[in-house]
Amino acid sequence: MPVVIKKRSRKKAITPKKNSFAQFRVSDDDVILREVEQFLYRQAELLDAKRWSDYIELFDADGIYWMPASLEQITGDGMPSIFYEDRNLMTMRMKRIAHPHAWSQTPAWGTSHIVSNVTLEKVDSRTGDVSVRSRFHMMEFRRDASRHFAGVYHHELRKTKHGYTIRLQRTDMVNGEAPFDYVLLAWV
Amino acid sequence: MTTNGGADLTRLIEPDRVHRSVYTDDAIFAREMEAIFQRAWVYVGHESQVKQPGDYCTALLGQQPLIMVRHSDGAVYVLYNRCAHRGALLCAKSRGNTGGAFGCSYHSWQYRTDGTLESIPLPAGYEGTRFSPGAADYNLKRAARVESYRGFVFASLSPSGPALAEFLGEARIALDNMCDRAPAGEVEIVPTCFRFIQHSNWKIFMENQLDALHPYVTHESTGRAAAELERQMMARKQKPPLEYHYLSAFTTPFNEWDKLQTVNYPYGHCMLQGYMGLRPRDPDTLAYEAVMREHYGAERTERILGVNIHHVLIYPGLSVQPALQQLRAARPLAPNRTLTEIWHFRLKGAPEAIYRRALAYYNLINSPSTMVNADDLENFWRCHQGLAADGGDWVSFHRNAGQDDEHDGVIASRRGTSEAPMRNQFRAWKQYLSSSEH
Ligand code: FES
Ligand SMILES: [Fe+2]
């Protein structure tokens, strides 16, 4: 049996009159969730488009990109990490990748990220800051070969006048403890 | 690729060049595993990986899967990871605690942690058979020889050969100096291991470790980026972290690298002098040096901290950085595949800041996001690809050949970029392979 979808006017669905239809009520959290999702999608697009400097701009002045060496770690401070980078180190990485003699950059290299399962874990109603958990899947192509990395993102986002900035991004890769076939050239 | 295993292998090694087949040939690789990796003293692991009775970790020596385990009496055993019944691997995990015994997952033969057979199910089934419990055949086989040097455990799978101390010879300074830098005189491993698969022969990795001609070229992009960040931060009146200098040091031009020295020992071991300012004068270092003087006195402290070594190779598979407390073990998997395992250590009794310095090096240079080895691995791959082709038969190690100083089998190069370390590794290679020829 095909599912019958009741037709509704498009206009109504997108801009419901003020709470007039209970089924269209958009709670505050839903708005935040949509904003956060868009933020995460944009972040992934910046990586895949290699817009490194725009990517780094997403981070707070003292923001950190962290990929722990093991899933059990609770801090990257004073612990081995795959990445534990502030904006200075991120800038160094960007400059290195852009250098004409970054030999590792010679072969064709590209990535594609999918971000999904976005869940708000904490919303600070006073500041608007949010903790959000999501899952990612990244396919990387480099010199005729593909690799897959997947896992969980945990973002601590700060709400600012101009949108969100990243205080901490934790990237937990399900295959982060496997031997690496080559290295990770940029942030996942 | 044709196999060269039956040929006189030593003819492939000339004093200043080697035939490319030693990197690519399957039969030569098999001979190397037997004649070198299964005979020499090869690093297994550090005693602090197996502190408690029953603690174990696994390691690959040549093509042999082994278990290092702490027995109930405190002794460390190195056993083949192979059940004496029908051959199953006993430990499928790389580390853990097995309690009092290793139990086989297939038919539950049980072994004590010294490898002896403890029990089998339904023993009556063996009555009247040739099976005799207590005979060595029914125990876990032990590595022929196991010795620990200041906590670093090595095994040799051959019953004969030099003792570990004799094998290490002067290259033991790698382990001595790392331990001596600890006020308590010993180090403790940090239980994180970063692992890479290199798509290249193990010797390409070993030759690179002391290659002072490559950093300025291979690591130019990272050296320049780090130097630029240092300048920018200084312009902003910020103090660049010490570890940035480990990277910006790659901008050191050729002629400066050439002023360094390498020392090349028997058995293929080699040492490259330090270049990246391994003894800074920041407050953390000064505080640490004060602790050192309390333990060792001023004179001995000076001797320990005055040792300026970047890398020591303990041939065939270990590369040690004593002043940065790092260690890389190369485990050959195939002619064109090499596993490297990278560890770092804490200096017992040293302030936390000194650990953090080692950690920064570990994270920046040795982690899977490395901005340094990224370009090394690219070059290793290129080398292996080129050597597998017919574009030429020889690999050149002519740089400063015949211009080194040799005394009692120890070869000191007059130049940092001399290819003496590579020639020295092949000197040992030739000895291992020829003494195993039947
Ligand atoms: S193979 Fe181990 S008990 Fe049978
Ligand atoms: Fe290098």
Residue-wise pLDDT tens digits, B66-95: 999 999 999 999 999 999 999 999 999 999
Residue B377 forms contact with A (CB below 8 Å): yes
**Which pLDDT value is given to residue A26?**
59
pLDDT band at B437 (very low <50, low <70, confident <90, very high): low
**Which pLDDT value is given to residue B256?**
92
Q: What token pair was written down for A58?
A: 């997403």
**Which pLDDT value is given to residue B424?**
97
DSSP B142: B
Which residues hold their Cβ within 5 A of ligand 2, which is an ion? Answer: B 376
Residue nearest to atom 3 of ligand 1 (CA): B107
- CA B317, CA B340: separation in Å to the nearest integer? 9
Does A183 contact B197 at a Cβ distance shorter than 8 Å?
no
Question: Which residue segments constitute the domains of chain B, with CATH numbers given?
Answer: 42-149 (2.102.10.10), 168-212+258-435 (3.90.380.10)
State the virtual CA torsion across B383, B385, B386, B392 in degrees, nearest 10.
120
Helix A87-98 vs helix B220-235: angle between axes, to the nearest 10 degrees? 140
**Which pLDDT value is given to residue B307?**
93
Model confidence at A14: pLDDT above 90: no
Model confidence at B1: pLDDT above 50: no
**Do B221 and A99 meet the contact criterion of CB atoms below 8 Å apart?**
yes
Residue of B367, B370, B384 to mutate, testing the A interface (most A Cβ within 10 Å of its Cβ): B367
Residues of A with Cβ-Cβ distance to B371 under 8 angstroms: 92-93, 96
**Do A92 and B226 meet the contact criterion of CB atoms below 8 Å apart?**
yes
Give me the amino acid identity at B363: N
The region of weakest confidence among A60-64, B1-5, B174-178, B275-279 is B1-5
Q: Compare all CA atoms of chain B with the CA of A176 and give the residue at the minimum distance.
A: B368
Give the ligand whose atoms come closest to the C-alpha of residue B106. Answer: 1
List, in sequence order, every residue forming a beta bridge with A59; answer none if it has no partner. A166
Model confidence at A22: pLDDT above 80: no
Question: Which residues, including other chains, have CB under 8 Å from residue B274's CB and lie 6 or more apart?
Answer: B308, B309, B310, B323
- Mean pLDDT value across residues B324-353: 98
Per-residue DSSP letters for A100-160? TT-GGGSS-EEEEEEEEEEEEEEE-TTT--EEEEEEEEEEEEETTEEEEEEEEEEEEEEEE
User: Which atom number of ligand 1 is nearest to the Cα of residue B90?
Assistant: 2
Distance B237 CA to ligand 2 centre (A): 31
- Mean pLDDT value across residues B233-261: 93
- CA B77, CA B68: separation in Å to the nearest integer? 6
- Mean pLDDT value across residues B260-282: 90
C-beta of B216 in contact with ligand 1 (< 6 A): no
Task: Summarize pLDDT for A57-105 with one digit per residue, the tens.
Answer: 999 999 999 999 999 999 999 999 999 999 999 999 999 999 988 888 8
Task: Summarize pLDDT for B197-233 with one digit per residue, the tens.
Answer: 999 999 999 999 999 999 999 999 999 999 999 999 9
Q: What are the structural domain ranges in chain A?
A: 27-173
Residue of A62, A90, A180 to mutate, testing the B interface (most B Cβ within 10 Å of its Cβ): A180
**Do A157 and A36 meet the contact criterion of CB atoms below 8 Å apart?**
yes
The larger pLDDT score, comparing residue A4 to residue B350, is at B350
For chain B, percent of residues with pLDDT exceeding 70: 98
**Which pLDDT value is given to residue B275?**
76
Residues of B with Cβ-Cβ distance to A56 under 8 angstroms: none
Distance B174 CA to ligand 2 centre (A): 19
Largest CA distance in chain B: 86
Beta pairing class for B101-103 and B110-112 = antiparallel
pTM of the predicted structure, to 2 decimals:
0.93
Model confidence at B393: pLDDT above 90: yes
Q: Hey, which of B109, B111, B120 would you mutate to test ligand 1's pocket, going by the most ligand atoms within 8 Å of its Cβ?
A: B109
* C-alpha dist (Å) from residue A52 to A86, A88, A95, A97, B224: 14, 13, 9, 10, 18
Closest partner residue to A103 among B356, B367, B379, by Cβ?
A: B379
**Which pLDDT value is given to residue A104?**
86
List, in sequence order, every residue forming a beta bridge with B111; answer none if it has no partner. B102, B117
- As a whole number, the mean pLDDT across chain B is 95
- CA B244, CA B292: separation in Å to the nearest integer? 25
pLDDT band at B129 (very low <50, low <70, confident <90, very high): very high
Distance B331 CA to ligand 1 centre (A): 27
**Which pLDDT value is given to residue A24?**
46
- Mean pLDDT value across residues B145-156: 98
- CA A180, CA B368: separation in Å to the nearest integer? 7
- Mean pLDDT value across residues B223-244: 95
**Which pLDDT value is given to residue A27?**
75
Closest partner residue to B229 among A92, A102, A185, by Cβ?
A: A92
Residues of A with Cβ-Cβ distance to B222 under 8 angstroms: 92, 96, 102
Chain B: give the shortest CA distance to residue A184, in Å. Answer: 5
pLDDT band at A13 (very low <50, low <70, confident <90, very high): very low
**Which pLDDT value is given to residue A12?**
42
- Mean pLDDT value across residues B167-173: 97
pLDDT band at A18 (very low <50, low <70, confident <90, very high): low
- Mean pLDDT value across residues A120-143: 96
C-beta of B107 in contact with ligand 1 (< 6 A): yes
Residue B378 forms contact with A (CB below 8 Å): yes
Full strand arrangement of the beta sheet holding B13-14:
B13-14, B17-19, B394-396
CA of residue B53 relative to chain centroid, distance:
26
C-beta of B88 in contact with ligand 1 (< 6 A): yes
- CA B283, CA B269: separation in Å to the nearest integer? 35
Compute the residue count for chain B: 438
Burial grade of B315 (CB within 10 A; 0-12, 13-18, 19 or more): buried
**Which pLDDT value is given to residue A7?**
45
Question: Cα B233–B236–B238 angle (5° rounding)?
Answer: 55
State the virtual CA torsion across A36, A175, A147, B246 in degrees, nearest 10.
90
Beta pairing class for B42-46 and A109-123 = unpaired
**Over the Cα atoms of chain A, what is R_g?**
20
- Identify the CATH number of the domain defined by range A27-173: 3.10.450.50
List, in sequence order, every residue forming a beta bridge with A111; answer none if it has no partner. A140
